[in-house]
Amino acid sequence: MKYLALGLLALAMSAPCLMAATAAELESNSTIDSVVVFPSGAEVHRNAKVSLPAGDTTIVFPDLPAKTVPGSIRVEGAADGTLRIGSVDQRRLYVPQSGSGNEASERKRLEKEIEELKDKRQMVQARIDTANTQQVLLQNLANLPNVSPGRDGSAGPAPDWGQLVRLIGNEMGEIQETLLEAKVDLRDLDRKIEDLEKTLSELAPKRIERTQVKVFVSSDSALEADLTIKYQVRSASWRPFYEARLKTAADDAKSKLQLVRRATIQQRSGEPWKNVAIKLSTTRPTSGSTAPELRPMVVDIMKPRPAPSPSAGAQGPRGGIMSMNSAEEAPAAERDRYRGKLATARRADVKPVMATVESAPFQAIFVVPGRADIDTTGETKNLMISEADFEVSLSVKAVPKKQPTAYLYATLERTGDTPLLPGPVALFRDGTFVGKGRLPLIAGERYELGFGADDLVRVKYAILQEKRGETGLISTTRTDDRNYKLTVTNLHKQKIDVTLLDQMPVARDEQVQVQLTGRSRPTKQDVDDKRGLLAWEFELKPKEEKVIDFGYVVKWPADKQIIYRSR
């Protein structure tokens, strides 16, 4: 077989092809074989096998979803002869949706039942018409005494009026009873027909919107071709979520962290993905292709607004001069948000199958093993991607001023070609679920994961002094002198790294001075570029206690007032 790679973007050829006007149409069905899911959107691959005659042919694929992204369609394939593609066109159309065999038989049964009920209705209506005619005849008979004699003035034999009255009364009663029964039957039949017609309309085949693709091809001889139609849809996405399982070690051995990476997939493309191969890509096709543009920013002296003239006063805001105090911001780039449900239940005796990773310089593709079904209802499908083990270093952090509790952290360093995408994480410490967190984008750097309170590290916070006063003889200055004591005790059987955090005020006016005091100088100031944030980092041996004594003095003019604010 001679293979031929066929690739063409939809509507790539704007000029109409000569062969398109005379080509015979050949409708072909295609089935979804694989899907590449992006954080926003997906690329669907459909396969079709066609038998083509020699000459020009228009292959029609009528079953693509209506939400196909315009311009994303392309055709690839292989043939056992020379095959040329002239163009690929697409258009949207409405097609009836075929129902199941049971629905078709049910529709036939309802149609037959409605037809029988309508026949019965005609018979009941005939009874009503007959009774109405009889009623008119009896009314005419009752009017006989009022009939004038004939032209000759002679009167016929006098009827038996008593018998006539009894006859009219008996017959009129039977007619009224017949009319009443017939009208009740007619009302019941109308209700049944209306209910059945409503049920029949609900079972009628629905008209759905689809995308039709026409591929104009030309071959020198009859041949067989395997074609792949690729197109993108926007109503699909995948999001990562993680399980971080920390196993703490006794003594000074290294603790282990198992990071399980999972993915949730959902789609509302309008077509179900049945028994398809799944790939998860980190590419974002719809997030924009270029960086945002910055516009020139200028600063100018604000000019006074001229007084409006009486004639210009009615013009409203358009008549004045507008001033700009800030530059116009460039449009913000689209951000992808990742959320997902956490699936934490796992059987210990089952070893999950991992996805393989295809790395590229600018993206990563996770090939999910096997095949999967993903419906078009938007329900999430959870899949395993990978798991990795890390040796981590443990430490505790505490902010005694806010809470006298130490929190355990595990520091991991991500290595490898594929980054960890942002997503929620379920946290387990020694097999116990301790809470939820969120991972940022991690690619080759160190990151600390919190694993809840550490009850074997005790933290205390005490205020030693909070005193205000004045200094100076000629020019007095007010002072605010504060001192604190932080105490931390390690009750573990192994040493542990500790970080205590506190703060000192930051002056925003040059007349205010702030001076750090105390015997325990912090190891870091302005931690994480936050002004006034202090950190004491040290190692605590088993059963060891550490005391941090620190404070600060604030000075300002006596004729001024100060206020503390949190930012």
Segment 237-295, tens digit of pLDDT: 999 999 999 998 876 678 899 999 999 999 999 899 999 999 999 887 766 667 778 88
Tell me: pLDDT of 4 over 50.
no
Instruction: Determine contact, residues 210/57, Cβ cutoff 8 Å.
Output: no
pLDDT band at 11 (very low <50, low <70, confident <90, very high): very low
pLDDT band at 99 (very low <50, low <70, confident <90, very high): low
Residues with Cβ within 8 Å of 93's Cβ and at least 6 positions away in sequence, in order, are 62, 209, 210, 212
Each residue's pLDDT tens digit, 181-237: 888 888 999 999 999 888 888 777 676 788 889 999 998 899 999 999 999 999 999
User: How much is the pLDDT for 317?
Assistant: 40
User: How much is the pLDDT for 458?
Assistant: 95
Query: Can you list the pairs that 405-409 forms with residues at least 24 positions away whose Cβ atoms lie under 8 Å?
Result: 405/453, 405/459, 406/453, 406/454, 406/457, 406/458, 406/459, 406/488, 406/498, 407/450, 407/451, 407/452, 407/453, 407/454, 408/450, 408/451, 408/452, 408/453, 408/454, 409/448, 409/449, 409/450, 409/451
Burial class (CB in 10 A: 0-12, 13-18, 19+), 261: buried
Q: Is the pLDDT higher at 150 or at 500?
A: 500
Task: Work out the percent of the chain whose per-residue pLDDT is above 90.
Answer: 35
User: How much is the pLDDT for 441?
Assistant: 86
pLDDT band at 368 (very low <50, low <70, confident <90, very high): confident
pLDDT band at 421 (very low <50, low <70, confident <90, very high): confident
Reading phi first (left if > 0) and then psi (alpha if -120 to 50, else beta), residue 316 is in left
Closest CA to 542 of 488, 494, 489: 494
User: How much is the pLDDT for 273?
Assistant: 93
Tell me the average pLDDT of the chain.
80
Tell me: pLDDT of 177 over 90.
no
Closest CA to 340 of 384, 285, 382, 369: 382
Tell me: pLDDT of 314 over 90.
no
Segment 477-500 shows an average pLDDT of 93
Of the given ranges (271-280, 322-331, 346-355, 413-422), which has the lowest mean pLDDT? 322-331
Each residue's pLDDT tens digit, 341-351: 333 334 444 45
Q: Any idea what the Cα angle at residue 466 is, between residues 462 and 470, rounded to 5°? A: 160
Q: Determine the residue type at 177.
A: E
| Residue 291 CA from chain centroid, whole number | 25
Each residue's pLDDT tens digit, 120-139: 999 989 888 888 888 788 77
Reading phi first (left if > 0) and then psi (alpha if -120 to 50, else beta), residue 475 is in beta
User: How much is the pLDDT for 96?
Assistant: 63
pTM equals 0.61
Of the given ranges (7-16, 101-110, 203-212, 284-293), which has the lowest mean pLDDT? 7-16
How far, in Å, CA of 261 to CA of 239, rounded?
11
In this structure, what is the dihedral angle of CA atoms 310, 315, 319, 325, given to the nearest 10 degrees?
120
Side-chain-side CA neighbours of 263 within 13 Å: the count stands at 25
Q: Determine the residue type at 181.
A: E
Each residue's pLDDT tens digit, 503-526: 999 998 888 999 999 999 999 999
User: How much is the pLDDT for 81?
Assistant: 85
Residues with Cβ within 8 Å of 246's Cβ and at least 6 positions away in sequence, in order, are 255, 256, 257, 392, 410, 427, 428, 429, 430, 449, 451
Segment 443-448 shows an average pLDDT of 83
Closest CA to 550 of 519, 511, 512, 527: 519
